[in-house]
């Protein structure tokens, strides 16, 4: 009898552990104004770094455990974070979540027209030139900023290693868990696809636990140009930070 109880306990523990590791939650996202289902809403598990999007019915399913945080976002709507509860995991019920539309105020756009003279040598000087320094395009083998390793970037990283008060050190040296998540994001095709279509930095700031100002400063400290910061999508920003962090780790190890 005692032997059977031990076997039963082992099997129960194994099944429970397996269920926790492989647990998934289902949900449905609707527009809070009219309860209509929302397609292509981005959902990312910030703890386990898994991503997905809703289907035409607004439904989604994602890998998650109790107390994980899901980040939900859609262009023109207020992004929210949803905590995964014990009931949601254990009972497997489809939870309906509402997103609220943002009240956007359109800013005045001023278009500066070029006054062309017809003389190429004169007109060419009126075309704005982007002073890029360095970065690569995700998915391509070539970049559209110059050298892949800038001396000034290496200098800044070295300065951060030897100066605990440096901004780069505060991000790279004090956020090892967040940096690991960043590396995991690079390997997730679903998340890379989501980031490639976004320019708001929201998901990155939530993952790194920094605000947008500090995120832009981080990229700047890694010696990426202002043009890049303004025009790059979130996937390119992810790759830029990851490259800088890898340089930081190499130089820290060789120190």
Instruction: Kindly indicate the confidence band of residue 121, based on its pLDDT and cuts at 50, 70 and 90.
Output: low
Burial of 167 (0-12, 13-18, 19+ CB in 10 A): middle
Select the more confidently predicted residue: 158 or 132.
158
Quick one: pLDDT at residue 45? Answer: 95
Q: What's the mean per-residue pLDDT of the chain?
A: 78
* Strand-by-strand arrangement of the 95-99 sheet: 59-63, 24-31, 95-99
Q: What is the mean pLDDT of residues 58-87?
A: 94
Quick one: pLDDT at residue 4? Answer: 52
Poorest-confidence range of 17-31, 39-53, 102-116, 158-172?
A: 102-116
- CATH superfamily to which 23-99 belongs: Carboxypeptidase-like, regulatory domain (2.60.40.1120)
Quick one: pLDDT at residue 215? Answer: 92
All structural domains of the chain with their residue ranges: 23-99, 129-254
Q: Does 11 score more than 50 pLDDT?
A: no
pLDDT (tens digit per residue) in 194-223: 999 899 999 899 988 889 999 999 998 888
pLDDT (tens digit per residue) in 243-252: 888 888 888 7
**Which of 219, 150, 181, 186 minimizes the C-alpha distance to 45?**
181
Q: Residues 223, 229, 234, 235: what is their CA dihedral angle, to the nearest 10 degrees? A: -40
Q: What is the mean pLDDT of residues 8-13?
A: 46
């Amino acid at each position: 009898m005692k032997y059977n109880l031990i076997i039963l306990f082992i099997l129960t523990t194994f099944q429970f552990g397996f269920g926790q590791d492989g647990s998934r939650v289902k949900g449905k996202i609707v527009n809070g104004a009219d309860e209509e289902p929302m397609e292509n809403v981005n959902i990312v598990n910030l703890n386990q770094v898994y991503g997905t999007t809703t289907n035409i019915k607004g439904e989604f399913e994602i890998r998650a455990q109790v107390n994980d945080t899901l980040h939900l976002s859609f262009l023109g709507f207020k992004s929210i974070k949803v905590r995964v509860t014990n009931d949601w995991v254990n009972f497997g019920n489809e939870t309906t979540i509402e997103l609220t539309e943002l009240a956007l105020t359109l800013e005045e756009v001023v278009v500066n027209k070029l006054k062309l003279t017809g003389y190429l040598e004169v007109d060419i000087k009126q075309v704005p030139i982007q002073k890029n320094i360095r970065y690569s395009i995700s998915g391509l083998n070539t970049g559209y900023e110059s050298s892949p390793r800038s001396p000034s970037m290496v200098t800044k990283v070295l300065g951060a290693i030897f100066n605990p008060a440096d901004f780069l050190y505060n991000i790279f040296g004090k956020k090892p868990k967040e940096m690991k998540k960043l590396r995991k994001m690079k390997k997730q095709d679903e998340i890379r696809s989501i980031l490639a279509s976004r320019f708001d930095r929201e998901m990155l700031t939530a993952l790194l636990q920094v605000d947008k100002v500090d995120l832009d400063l981080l990229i700047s400290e890694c010696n990426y140009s202002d043009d890049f910061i303004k025009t790059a999508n979130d996937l390119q920003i992810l790759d830029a930070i990851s490259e800088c962090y890898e340089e930081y780790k190499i130089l820290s190890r060789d120190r």
